[in-house]
Structures are given as structure tokens and as C-alpha cells.
Amino acid sequence: MDHQVVTSTLLYLDGVSVTFDGYKALRGLSLTLAPGEMRAIIGPNGAGKTTMMDVITGKTKPDEGDVFFNGSEDLTKLDEATIAELGIGRKFQKPTVFECHTVEDNVLLALKAPRSAFATLFGRPAPGTRERIDQILETTRLHDHRFRMAADLSHGQKQWLEIGMLLAQDPKLLLVDEPVAGMTDAETAQTAELLRAIAVDHSVVVVEHDMTFVRDLGVKVTVLHEGSVLAEGPLDQVSADPRVIEVYLGR
């Protein structure tokens, strides 16, 4: 079971089910993601998008089903920190940056480096750390805000900082939960641009409600509904699918 299934896919979910107090958040969800792919996940509220993220990052253990990363890592058996170290980074729906730290320190904490208490207490920063931070702040347009407290940033800037922190982790797979919620149109467009730039050398899964934004991304779309996949394909194709229209407009 373990190895034959998944050698070429980066992320492999098969028949994943999660139940909370009798409520089926996920029912037999199956999804695969190729290395280097960017995928948009859409779906109405309660479709299981966030639960799916929780399962992949180890926050929630599925009742049944397989979750494999990188061919052979069984994510259902690992905890959050281990999964993060394997190379899965997550951006939350609500921006959660470290408010009492400067923008620079936020990126520093996320930067790929030894995570052990001993290393952070006695270790010296690796050469090139500063350059790497510079680069990330440049990409996320936060260079001028380097020494500001994260708490003082605008909503959009916090979202970018969090994306910057994801970049700093240099994960193989980025999970991005509703990156443009609450953003202005200009910020939304800039975010799409930022994610496309990131997708050049990372695999990305974006969960989003905003259809304009999903169109801007221009990638394959997976529609979730009531905990399983309803349709998959280019946005134009899925949005023409009568079942998808039913789910989105039928209620």
C-alpha cells in the first residue's frame, strides 16, 4: 500500500474522511498534486477546504484515508513540527504573524535554519542570512517596513509578510488559505502576481473564494463540495459544469 501508489506526485490524498462530533467535514476526499504545480481550491463555506489543510499539516488526524507527501511520507503519522520540517508551509486564513516582532524578525524566525532549542540559543546565524531576508522582503514589497512591528502593518501587508514567511521556510509545498480575504482590488492583483512568482519554483495550493483572483492565477481548479471533490479542471471548464453552478448558485 505504502510505496507503489505515489512516486511521481508531491501530495497524494486518497479517500480521506474526517468527522467532528458526527459532522462529516471530509468524506472520501481524493486529490493529487504534481511537483511544481499550482492548484486553486474553491468551494462554498463548509466544503472542507480548511479541514483539508488541517489534515495535510497534521493538525487534524483523518479517521480514514491515506495522505502521502513526496511519495512515501505518511503525513497521518506525523506531528505539525515534523511536517513543517519535511517542507510543507502553511498560511492561515486569518493573518497570523508574530505581532510583537519586527517584520525582519518574523522572516528570520521562518527562515530555513536549525529549529532545535540548542541551535537557536547558542548558534550563530548562517552566512547569507541577511541577504536571504533582504531578498524575501524585496519580493513581498516589505523592504521599507523592515523594522516596523508586525502589529503595525496594514492587513494586506500582514498577508504578504505571512507569504514572505512561507517563502523563507523554502517549503516544497505551500498551502495558502484565503490570501486575499479583506484585501483591496489592487492588493488582490499584486497578491496574484506574487503567488505566480512563487509558483515558479514551488508547489502551491491556494484556497480562495474570490473568483477574480482565481482567474488571475490562471491555474487548474479543484471544486470541493461537502467534503469531497466535485469537479476539477481549468476554471472556465469547471464554471461551466452544471453541478458546480448548482452548488454555487442553486441555493
Partner 1 sequence: MTRKTFLASGLLDPRGLIFLAILTAAAIAVPVFSLLVPENSAFALPPYLVGLFGKYLCYALLAVALDLVWGYCGILSLGHGAFFALGGYAMGMYLMRQIGPRGVYANPLLPDFMVFLNMKDLPVTWWGFQHFPYAMLMVLVVPGLLAFCFGWLAFRSRVTGVYLSIITQAMTYALLLAFFRNDMGFGGNNGLTDFKDILGFNIQSPSTRVWLFVATAIALGAGYLIARAVVTSKFGKVVIAIRDAESRTRFLGYRVEIYKLAVFVLSAMMAGVAGALYVPQVGIINPGEFAPTNSIEAVIWVAVGGRGTLVGAALGAILVNWGKSTFTNILPEYWLFALGALFVLVTLFMPKGIIGTLDQIKARRARARRGVEPAQAPAGE
In this chain, which of 74, 99, 193, 246 binds partner 1, going by CB under 8 A? 99
Q: List Cβ neighbours of 125 (8 Å cut-off, separation of 6 or more).
A: 108, 113
Q: From residue 122 to residue 161, what is the string marking binding to partner 1 with x (rule CB under 8 A)?
A: -x-x---xx-------------xxxxxx--x---------
Stretch that binds partner 1, among 9-17, 67-75, 76-84, 223-231 (CB under 8 A): 76-84
For β-strands 73-74 and 64-69, DSSP reports them as antiparallel
Q: Which of residues 20-59 bind partner 1 (CB under 8 A)?
A: 57, 59
Stretch that binds partner 1, among 22-30, 97-105, 194-202, 214-222 (CB under 8 A): 97-105
Q: What's the burial of 120, exposed, middle or buried (CB within 10 Å: 0-12/13-18/19+)? A: exposed
Helix segments in the chain, DSSP class H? 49-57, 80-86, 103-110, 117-122, 129-139, 155-169, 185-199, 211-217, 235-240, 242-249
Q: Does 115 bind partner 1 (CB under 8 A)?
A: yes
Residue bearing cell 505518511: 74
Give the CA count within 13 Å in the CB-facing half-sphere of 89: 22
State the chain's maximal CA–CA distance in angstroms: 60
Please say which residue, 59 or 220, places its beta carbon nearer to partner 1. Answer: 59
In this chain, which of 49, 90, 132, 202 binds partner 1, going by CB under 8 A? 90
Binding residues for partner 1, per CB under 8 A? 57, 59, 80-81, 84-85, 89-90, 92, 96-101, 104-105, 108-110, 115-117, 120-121, 123, 125, 129-130, 144-149, 152, 165, 169
